[in-house]
Amino acid sequence: MRANRLLNKEITALFKFESYEIIFNEDWVLNVPWIEVMVTCFHETRHAYQSYSIKHGINESKDILETWKKEQANYNSPSCENKPLSDIEYLRQSIEVDVIRFAHIQIKELFNVKTIIPDIIKDLIKKHKEE
């Protein structure tokens, strides 16, 4: 989808929970390094996994699925300012910690590239890893 058709032109991509679609900002895709697109692909694909898991009650523990379900229903969207301090509520959601961690692991394993994890969630990423 072209940026001028998105509600916020700063959005790179999004997963639509209701229609189970991943929508990319075509203008962004055409102007960023391929690795950024891959990070976003893994991020949004993990949201699809979460949604499927919630819907079918599979793949994760009951507690995790309940947390994801609540957060999905009351989702805090990013501010689109690209500033972690503006997005604390968004970044600290369990569903976002999970997708950021997932994308980080996939990019490291497949391409041997480390992604940047915002400082304000490093503690949650580490905790998630230990569980």
d(CA 118, CA 50) in angstroms, rounded, equals 21
d(CA 61, CA 66) in angstroms, rounded, equals 9
pLDDT tens string for the chain (131 positions)? 655 566 677 789 999 988 999 999 999 999 999 999 999 999 999 999 999 999 999 999 999 999 999 999 999 888 877 677 778 999 999 999 999 999 999 999 999 999 999 999 999 988 766 65
**Minimal CA–CA distance to 95: which of 42, 51, 126, 62?**
51
Domains of the chain, residue spans: 3-130
Residue type for position 67: T
